[in-house]
Amino acid sequence: MDTTIIFGIVAAVVAVGVIVYGIVSVRSERNLVEERLGRYESGYESFLDAEREQEDAEKRKEERRALEAIDKAIAQRQFAKKWRQQLARADIKLTVAEYAALHVVSTIGFFAAGYFVLFRGDLIMSIVAGFLGLFFPRIYVSRATSKRLIRFEQQLPDTLGLWVNALRSGFSVLQAMEAISRDAPEPTSSEFRRVVTEVQLGIDPEDALQHMLERVDSEDLDLVVTAVNIQREVGGNLAEVLDTISHTIRERVKLKGEIRVLTSQGRYTGYLISGLPIAVALFLSLIQPGFMQPMFENRLCGWPMLGIGMALIGMGMAAIQKIVNIDI
């Protein structure tokens, strides 16, 4: 096997290892404390293990200090605030600095894999692969946010039913939300648990609900939060209001599912038509390195053709998504 291919495989493995290590190293201090307590309780913790663990903890603190310094430097930037909101919506335990470092590592890893493994020295296609690697963390976060939002909206009617039953049993609004945080599945339980915790720490309930609405960008949840805030201001039977909203949301979710089934053919057709030219170009570059090189080298003909092709692909995808995206 060629040495460049071996080097490329090693570089790709190292890049993936760095990404995995970066994600694992951000686990919470609570898990570390529980792990240490479990070792002492089980009786196999020795003095040497404690010293080794202390050294590892010192190394982790140094790494955390460097990341915290970067995080403070970019904390007030507009893109940092947007990233922080995206990570909160996806419920990914990463800081802005770690998320930025993940972009760099992903770009280098994709470029190395493209240059040494996939395209074998084709610099242009490797740069394209690195460009895709730059957007890979954002795509992952966007997908995680979308899946989490869909699960939350599917659970919302049952959550409101639990809320209504708790209110009719004599619970207060806060006690009902605490019951939801115990009995509801994820991600509903974690979101209501945050609201209850914020209220117990002294934050106004209206602000705590608004924070949850910022983390979960849902129109149905906005309707629920508005109803709760109005009830706090003017009074009224909140159980009846939430019961009506629950019925409305349930019918809307059912209608959304039917529309999604009916428009699935159009959506997948759009994905296929948009991704097929790019997939063919990558496949040709993979089986015949340098085949697409003239398109990138010829600035008078190749570059305009590539630009027009990408623009037409984007316009077609946007048109198809506009057609199949039906608001309810």
CATH code of residue 247: 1.20.81
Average pLDDT score over residue span 174-203: 91
Same domain, 199 and 285: no
Q: Is a pLDDT exceeding 90 seen at residue 192?
A: yes
Q: Are residues 194 and 245 in the same domain?
A: yes
How many residues does this entry show for the chain? 328
Number of H helices, E strands in the chain: 14, 0
Which has the closest alpha carbon to 121: 286, 247, 302, 281?
286
Give 53's pLDDT tier (boundaries 50, 70, 90).
low
**Residues 226, 284 share a domain:** no
In a domain, 129, yes or no: no
| CA angle at 168 for the pair 164 and 173, rounded to the nearest 5° | 65
Give the per-residue pLDDT at 164: 92
List the domain range (segments joined by +) for residue 114. Answer: 3-121
Specify the number of domains making up the chain: 3
How far are the Cα atoms of 35, 158, 162 from residue 248, in angstroms, in the given order? Answer: 46, 12, 16
Q: Does some domain include residue 136? A: no
Domain final position from 208, 232, 261: 261
12 — pLDDT class (breaks 50, 70, 90): low
Q: To the nearest whole percent, how much of the chain has pLDDT over 70? A: 77
Q: Give 51's Cβ-side CA count (13 Å radius).
A: 3
Residues 252 and 267 reside in one and the same domain: no
Does residue 226 share a domain with residue 293? no
Mean pLDDT over residues 62-73, rounded? 66
280 with 239, same domain: the answer is: no
Query: Is 9's pLDDT higher than 60?
Result: no
Dihedral over alpha carbons 162, 168, 170, 176 (to 10 degrees): 20
Asked whether the predicted pLDDT for residue 245 surpasses 80, the reply is yes
Residue 144: band (very low, low, confident or very high) from pLDDT cuts 50, 70, 90? very high
CA distance 296 to 127: 12
Q: What is the pLDDT of residue 29?
A: 43
Are 73 and 62 contained in the same domain? yes
Whether residue 224 sits in one domain with residue 302: no
- Provide the mean pLDDT of the chain: 79
Q: Is residue 269 part of a domain?
A: yes
